[in-house]
Amino acid sequence: MNVLFTKNFSVTAAQLHALKGSRYAVWASHTDPGHGMLAAADHTFLEPRGLLGDDYAAWLLDACVRHGIDLVIPGKERERLASWQESFAAAGVTLITPALETTQRHLERKDEFLRDWHTDVLPIPRWTTFDSLASFDDAAATLREPGVRLCVKPARGIYASGFRVLMDTPDLKSFLGGELYQMSHAAARELFASGELPTMLLMHTLEGAERSVDCVAWQGELLRAVVRRKGGEGQQIEDRPDLVEAARQITARYGLSGIFNFQTKDGPDADGRNRTPNMLEINARASGGLRYSMAAGVNFPLLLLDAATGVLDRTAIPPVQTGLRVAEDKVARVIHEQEVAV
């Protein structure tokens, strides 16, 4: 069966490599002929630049029919593509999107997501929004507590773009030490006064361990979840039944399919110790660190495709290998001049 991975981040190449030797012929498409996704696939073609929304969806459907694609795991425009599933199905193509378009957009808007979140699954830190210097000042006055640092981040964004922990005064030691995610409160006020702001979050900073939970699911059923704790040398694969149960509830509540991720950070428990996982965000896409979790014995893309095609034996899914410390080694790749069929 021909499975197509469309334009996505370079880390997607790890998923393509994981399907080598399987029953699936791996295809990849991208706008960049030198992209790592194309180097990892057996079959490739280029995507036109500049297509968005329904125009991109219509082009993709035509490309799938022309190339005999059976299944598609989209990266680009995955939200809008969710509303095209019936059109793809009518052409004999299974389009795997994480959830309904409205659900995906809800999860992308972190303020909407936090406002609607059920804290009986996992607690969340105190937070509010601002979109101007005046509302930032009001928000800071509301959230400020002794011994608690505040942090800011955009309500919409990926990875750590726009995230900063606010310091009362500039910290020379942190600056010289290469700390990239801190700024003084005064510098933040100067920045927020300089122009029109998107909706921003102001939150209590959680000072405990940070975790990323990588999940694979099909139609609201969790197939596997891998919990990895960040920090130190590499990342630690942990045995955390509580977070796996949270993953199961998240999957069912949002009706998720595919590979997705959620982030937690430990905050104070009843004794004031930072041991209670708090929900930060859910990403309806594979994380940038999925390769760490794949080292725990879970072939995320293979489980997904087998579930989507109805051949998955759920009793034979390997268990997650916990207690591992996983490191990532960067490698170099030569980009050859080559023509990629369109």
247 and 282 both lie in a single domain: yes
The answer to whether position 130 is within a domain reads yes
196 and 221 both lie in a single domain: no
Lateral strand order in the sheet of 94-95: 43-46, 25-30, 2-5, 71-73, 94-95
- Check pLDDT > 70 for residue 337: no
163 and 245 both lie in a single domain: no
- Model confidence pLDDT, tens digit, residues 110-158: 999 999 999 999 999 999 999 999 999 999 999 999 989 999 999 987 7
pTM of this prediction?
0.91
284 and 240 both lie in a single domain: yes
Task: Specify whether the CB–CB gap between 54 and 30 falls below 8 A.
Answer: no
- Residue 312: the pLDDT is 98
Name the DSSP letter for residue 197.
Answer: P
Task: Specify whether the CB–CB gap between 300 and 326 falls below 8 A.
Answer: no
196 and 247 both lie in a single domain: no
CATH number of the domain bearing residue 189: 3.30.1490
Domain boundaries, position 33? 2-96
192 and 215 both lie in a single domain: no
214 and 190 both lie in a single domain: no
Both structure tokens of 38:
């194309």
- Check pLDDT > 70 for residue 339: no
What residues pair up with 227 in beta bridges, in sequence order? 213, 238
Give residue 255's identity as a one-letter amino acid code: G
- Model confidence pLDDT, tens digit, residues 215-236: 999 999 999 999 999 988 899 9
The answer to whether position 64 is within a domain reads yes
Nearby residues of 253 by Cβ (< 8 Å), 6 or more positions away: 118
Task: Specify whether the CB–CB gap between 122 and 279 falls below 8 A.
Answer: yes
CATH number of the domain bearing residue 88: 3.40.50.20
Domain count, the chain: 3
The answer to whether position 108 is within a domain reads no
The answer to whether position 269 is within a domain reads yes
259 and 312 both lie in a single domain: yes
CATH number of the domain bearing residue 247: 3.30.470.20
174 and 224 both lie in a single domain: no
The answer to whether position 92 is within a domain reads yes
As to burial, measured by CB atoms within 10 angstroms (0-12 exposed, 13-18 middle, 19+ buried), residue 246 is buried
Calculate mean pLDDT across residues 59-84: 97
Q: How many helices (H) and strands (E) does the chain have?
A: 13, 16
The answer to whether position 251 is within a domain reads yes
199 and 219 both lie in a single domain: no
User: How many Cα neighbours within 13 Å face the side chain of 241?
Assistant: 0
